[in-house]
Amino acid sequence: MTEVKIYDTTLRDGSQREGISFSVTDKLKIVKELDKLGIHYIEGGFAGSNPKDMEFFGRVKKIKLKNSKIVGFGSTRRKNIRAEDDPSLRALIDSRVRAACIVGKCWHVHVENALRTTREENISMVSESIAFLKENGLEVLFDAEHFFDGYKGDPEYAIDVLQAAQDAGADYLVLCDTTGGALPHEVKEIIESIKLKIDAPLGIHAHNDSECAVANSIVAVQAGVAQVQGTINGYGERCGNANLCSIIPALQLKLGVEVIQPEQLKLLTEASHLVSEIANLSPYPQQAYVGQSAFAHKAGLHTSAIEREDSSYAHINPSLVGNVQRVVISELAGKSTIILKAQELGIDLSDEPHRVTDILNRVKGLEHVGYHFEAADASFEILLRKSLGIHPTFFKLERFRVTMEKREDGRVATEATIKLQVSGRTVIETAEGNGPINALDGALRKAIGSVYPALGDIELTDFKVRVLDEKKGTGAVTRVLIESGDGKKTWGTIGVSENIIEASWHALVDSVEYGLMHKRAHEENGLNGMNGE
C-alpha cells in the first residue's frame, strides 16, 4: 500500500458549514493544533478572495510549523484569458504559499452549462493554470471537481482532463465526489480503472451527502490513492465532508497505514474537541473514536464483560486516540457497573456486595421515577458517597421561599429567600433574579460564599428541563439537568420532582456540592504535595 498524506480543509471547506465562522485568530489556533497532530497539508482558504483570508496568509507565515504545509486554494484561470492575467492565480502566487490547490471541471455538463465554454477550452484552462503555478515554484494539487459524476457521464472526457493536469505537472490529482452521491464500490472500481491510465499520484475528496464519505475515503486508499482530503469532525457544507477523526485512526489502526506518528494519534480526541470549541459547536458525544460516548458502556452485561477483559466491547484501545473508556450508570446497570464506576472514583467496593446491592437498588428506584444518571455523573457520585457515609456536609437547608411579581410597568420581579445552617450558624439571605432558579442560585451564593470562596469559580453553563409525562400537563413530573463548570472541568447534575423549582433546587445543590468537594480535594492534594517536598 502506498504512503498516504492527510490534507485538512477545515479552514476552507469546513467553514462552509452553516453556523461556523472562524476569525483569523481562530484559524491560526487550529493551524497550530493540526501541525501538532501531524497533518501534512492544511488548506488555509481562498487566496486573495476576501480580507480575512488575505490576513490569514500574511500572519500564518510567522508560525513555525514542524509537520504541516500551508496550502492556498483557488481555481483554474477564467475562460478566454491568459493564466498569468488571472487574478485568482496571481493571488495564489502573491500569498507566498509553498503549495496551491486549484479546482477545475471534469464533468462535461458543468463545462457546458456552468462555465459556458467548450470542452477543449476547459482542458486548456486546467493545463495552463497548473503549468503557470509550477513555473512559479509551487507544489500543485488539482481538485477534479464532480469527478465521479463526470466519469459516470463521460469517462473519456473525465480522463482527458486528468491527463491534461498530469501532463502540466500536477503533483496530485484529487478525485472529488462533490455531490457526495458516490457509493464505496463505485469509488473503488473507478479509481482502479483510472490507475491503469494515469501515473500521477491520486487523492480523494469526499462529501457526506450519502453518509459514505469516510467509507469512500478508506476504499480509495485501498484502491491506491496517495492523499486523503477531509475536515476535523467532518464539518462542511450540506451534510459535511469526510471526517478525518474517523479516517486517520481507521487507516492507522485498521489498515496499518501509518499516516501520523502514534504519539500524534493520541492527540486526536484533543484536536477534535478543540476545533469544536473554536467553532462554538457542542462535540457530538456519539462520534466514532473521539466522542465522549464512543467507549461508554451502559448495559450491565457489557460492564460485567469489560471488568474481566477491557477489550470485550471496544474495537480499539481508546487511549490510542486519546479517549477513555467510561462506565455509564442507568437502570440497565448491574453490580459490576457499580463496582467499576466506584473504581473510577477511587472507591473499592469489590469486597462489599451488600453495599453494591443497596446502591444498585437505589439507582434503579430513582431511575424508575425519572432520574437519568448517565447524563449526571456528578449526582451519581454524590449518591454513592452518601450511601457510603463519606459525603461531606457543606450546608443544611432549613427552608426557602420563591416569589414572583408581575408589576404594572410590565416587569416581572423574582425574589428568593433562603434559610440554612452553614459552619455552625444560621444564615438567611435574599436575592433577586431573572427567574426562580437564578434567584435561588443568587441567594445560595450569598449565604455560603464567604465560607466557601471556591464557589466563585463554579458557574452554571447549561439548564435543561424535560416533562416526563406530557399527558399530565402542568402537573407532570419534571426532570432538570444542570451542567456546571469551573473553567477546568464540567459536570452534570439532576433533579426530579412534580415541582419544577424543587427539581431545580436538587440539581443546583448537587452541582454546588460536587464543585466544592472536588475543589477541596484538589487543594488538599496540593498541600500534601507541598508537605512531601
Q: What DSSP string runs through 463-531?
A: EEEEES-GGGGGGS-EEEEEEEE-SS-EEEEEEEESSHHHHHHHHHHHHHHHHHHHHHHHHHHHHHHHH
Instruction: Give the per-residue pLDDT at 27.
Output: 94
SS3 449: coil
Nearest C-alpha neighbor of 354 from the set 368, 335, 373: 335
Paired strand residues for 296: 326
Q: How far apart are CA 345 and CA 378, in angstroms?
A: 11
Q: How many CB atoms lie within 10 A of CB 422?
A: 17
Q: How far apart are CA 511 and CA 484, in angstroms?
A: 7
Instruction: Give the per-residue pLDDT at 374.
Output: 63
The CATH number corresponding to 369-391+458-533 among 3.40.50.300, 3.20.20.450, 3.30.160.340, 3.40.50.460 equals 3.30.160.340
Q: How far apart are CA 463 and CA 492, in angstroms?
A: 10
pLDDT tens profile 122-135: 999 999 999 999 99
Residues 6+ apart with CB under 8 A from 404: 412, 413, 414, 415, 436
Q: How far apart are CA 180 and CA 30, in angstroms?
A: 25
Kindly tell me if the per-residue pLDDT of 464 is higher than 70.
Answer: yes
For the chain, the domains span: 5-279, 296-355, 369-391+458-533, 395-451
pLDDT tens profile 359-373: 888 877 887 777 777
Question: DSSP letter at 4?
Answer: -
The grid coordinates listed for 45 are 482558504
The CATH architecture one would assign to domain 395-451 is 2-Layer Sandwich (3.30)
Kindly tell me if the per-residue pLDDT of 520 is higher than 60.
Answer: yes
Q: How many CB atoms lie within 10 A of CB 156?
A: 8
Nearest C-alpha neighbor of 127 from the set 166, 98, 85, 89: 166
Question: Is 272 in contact with 283 (CB distance < 8 Å)?
Answer: yes
pLDDT tens profile 99-129: 999 999 998 888 888 889 899 999 999 999 9
The order of strands in the sheet holding 478-485 is 459-467, 478-485, 490-497
pLDDT tens profile 474-490: 567 888 888 888 877 78
Instruction: Give the per-residue pLDDT at 525.
Output: 60
Please list the alpha-helical segments (H only) found in 20-61: 24-37, 51-60
Q: Could you tell me what percent of the chain has a pLDDT over 70?
A: 90
Hey, what amino acid is at 362? R
The grid coordinates listed for 274 are 478543540
State the burial class of residue 365 (Cβ atoms within 10 Å of its Cβ: 0-12, 13-18, 19+).
exposed
CATH 3.40.140.10 is right for the domain spanning 5-279: no
Q: How far apart are CA 246 and CA 215, in angstroms?
A: 10
Kindly tell me if the per-residue pLDDT of 413 is higher than 80.
Answer: yes
Please list the alpha-helical segments (H only) found in 195-334: 213-222, 244-249, 262-265, 268-279, 300-308
369-391+458-533 and 395-451 have identical folds: yes
Would you say the C-alpha torsion 298, 304, 307, 308 has a positive or negative sign? negative
Strands (E), 316-362: 326-327
Quickly state the pLDDT bin for 285 (edges 50, 70, 90): confident
Q: How many CB atoms lie within 10 A of CB 426?
A: 10
Question: Is 247 in contact with 214 (CB distance < 8 Å)?
Answer: yes
SS3 425: strand
pLDDT tens profile 160-191: 999 999 999 999 999 999 999 999 999 999 99
Pairing relationship of beta strands 5-8 and 459-467 according to DSSP bridges: unpaired
Residues 6+ apart with CB under 8 A from 318: 294, 295, 324, 325
Residues 6+ apart with CB under 8 A from 319: 266
**pLDDT (mean) for 68-73:** 97
